[in-house]
Amino acid sequence: MSDPVLAALYYVLLAGLGLIFGSFTNVVIYRVPNGLSIVRPGSACPGCGTPISGRDNIPVLSWLILKARCRSCGEPISIRYPLVESATGLLWLVLGWWALSGMDGGINPLLPWLLVLGTAGVALAMIDVDHHRLPDSIVLPLYPVLLVGLVLAGVLSGEWPWLPALVGAAIWAGLIGALWLFSGGRAMGFGDVKLAPILGATLGWVGVASAVVGLFVAFVLGAIVGIGLMVASRAHRRSKVPFGPFLLGGALVGLLAGEAIGAAYTAALGL
């Protein structure tokens, strides 16, 4: 996108929409694990039950204006809400940048699917941290959306890397599934097994190197955090640490840098 004005509008639009979807993600994070509808009723203060008005539901800005307290009863509003909104907005910007960086004046047609997956990933990561599970109601619908997203990308680009996508899905599902099976579910949850093919297929569509690097980074991140928690006496060897956030974080690194890391690795080996 050579026109700087169009590029600026592109990023502003992505950031704004990311913040809005981040606000909705907060609803998903709270309601889905509790078996509540994400549509009705509307958002309300958990302290006094007063419905939240539109002016008090502007992502990040309302939290700042209200000084992190309910307008009606003064109940504190957790900083998690604006952080989730900001993280989602930032993620949309990063994915938007990736979609432009490898294209000659255009936008990578995989972007719509990546935005869906990224937003769902924020919700899944937070739910996994809170409840140590990845709800089927979020993970399973991603399968048909993945198929639609890849078909759309293929139609718009004229490229159909189905084989690398299947290889990526097989690598992720094979390793995560094997760890779950042979550990009796202690090393990995079944929700991780169900999420793995989605991430692997997405990265494989970009390139097998992205899938391999993403999975490797996921385990590195898990090891670093796990060791850090043990050093800080926040966990021990038998503690259950949710692995979903590491899978999602590894997938993001694989998307952004997997091909470059893979190329550098093979070049260093003289291959």
Q: What is the mean pLDDT of residues 122-126?
A: 98
C-alpha–C-alpha distance, residues 59 and 205, integer Å: 33
Q: What's residue 226's pLDDT? A: 81
Considering the chain, what percentage of its residues have pLDDT values greater than 70?
A: 95
Position 215 scores a pLDDT of 97
* pLDDT exceeds cutoff 90 at 201: yes
Check residue 142 and give its pLDDT: 98
pLDDT number for residue 238: 63
Q: For residue 24, what are its two tokens? A: 């909705």
Predicted confidence (pLDDT) at residue 229 exceeds the cutoff of 90: no
Which residues lie closer than 8 Å to 119 by C-beta, 6 or more apart?
18, 21, 22, 25, 88, 91, 92
Question: Confidence band (pLDDT; 50, 70, 90) for 236?
Answer: low
Query: Is residue 105's pLDDT more than 80?
Result: no
Would you state the pLDDT for residue 1?
65
- Residue 98: pLDDT band (50, 70, 90) is very high
On whether the pTM is more than 0.75, the answer is yes
Residues 47-81 have pLDDT tens digits of 888 888 888 889 999 999 999 998 888 889 999 99
Examine the pLDDT at 10 and tell me if it is beyond 80: yes
The partner residues of 76 in beta bridges, in order of sequence, read 69
For the stretch 67-92, what's the b/e string if a residue is b when 16 or more beta carbons lie within 10 angstroms of its beta carbon? Answer: eeebbbeeeebeeebbebbbbbbebb
Segment (H or E) for 80: helix 80-101
